[in-house]
Structure 1
């Protein structure tokens, strides 16, 4: 019997890695700032946001934006501030039709602070993305978030 061999990941260049760090800093800050157009705009038009916290993935930038409108409004009304802290970013080349796709894997800790209270850990997650370049900027094609508590 022939056994399949795993293909070793091919890390992106240092330049691309730094570019991805900037992308994620802007993207995470846009969700913390409750900036729906910026956050939803960081996905491709047909992008997918999937998480074990939702029964079904959100498919398409419009669906992602609509969900964020509701979630961000509820968060603001409750007086909650969230901060997404991304660590341990790994970025490797991925196959794609244009050859310019990247697979990333990171840990994201979400801190939550309610008015007048101390910050608490809202959740700890594993975030796996497939990204591509669109007009020179990175966009998320697919995001899979695994909450550790679910």
Structure 2
């Protein structure tokens, strides 16, 4: 994929839409759709000292194995992204940095704040779509 080097309003909105669809997929347990947002050789780094998941199929398997969606726990997980900064890179990709909050809610319960994190993605963007080359999570409680 080759990238446009300018961050226009249209591009910013495309990236926002990409993230909305990606998180809807993850929060509803559609792990195949979520994993398909990564490049074939994509990297998902979960935090300091944790081994990153490398490759779309590894990411897919990891999400499926660790999912609470569809299990015995009726929890609804919601990921909230905000404060998105999008910047072009010299290699044609884009750096995307934002804050993430994760909230769990069980039927009849009160929403439970799970974590906050700083997220850094490297996005490949062209006319055909957007794919993530990498995602690095930096959970605030481990900073």
- Alpha carbons 2:28, 2:69 under 8 Å: kept: no
Q: TM-score, normalised by structure 1?
A: 0.85
Segments of 5+ residues of structure 2 without an aligned counterpart are none
Query: Is 1:129 aligned to 2:104, yes or no?
Result: no
Q: Does the alignment pair 1:86 with 2:81? A: yes
Q: State the Cα distance separating 1:34 from its structure 2 match.
A: 0.8
Q: Which structure's relative contact order is higher, taking Cα pairs within 8 Å and 6+ residues apart?
A: 2
In the alignment, the residues of structure 1 paired with residue 81 and residue 103 of structure 2 have an alpha-carbon distance, to the nearest angstrom, of 11
1:20-77, Cα deviation, whole Å (9 max, x unpaired): 01101101111111101110000000000002176200000000000011122x3432
Aligned length, in residue pairs: 137
Instruction: Note the 1:60-79 alignment, pairs <5 A.
Output: 60-72=55-67, 74-77=68-71, 78-79=73-74
Deviations 1:71-95 (A, max 9, x none): 22x3432221110111000000012
The change in CA–CA distance for 1:42 and 1:116 in structure 2 (over 3 A counts) is same
Task: Give distance in 1, aligned partners of 2:36 and 2:58.
Answer: 12
Q: Distance in 1 between matches of 2:119 and 2:40?
A: 20
Give, in whole Å, the separation in 2 of the partners of 1:85 and 1:30. Answer: 13
Q: CA deviation at 1:134?
A: 6.3
TM-score, normalising length: structure 2: 0.89
- How far residue 133 of structure 1 moved from its aligned partner, in angstroms, is 2.9
Query: Distance in 1 between the 2:30 and 2:127 partners?
Result: 21
2:82 partner SS: strand
| Structure showing greater Rg | 1
**1:106-125 superposed matches below 5 A:** 106-125=98-117
Runs (4+) of structure 1 moved beyond 3 Å? none
Residue in 2 that maps onto 1:31: 26
Retained in 2: the 8 A contact 1:79–1:114?
A: yes
Q: Aligned partners of 1:123, 1:144: CA distance in 2, in Å?
A: 15
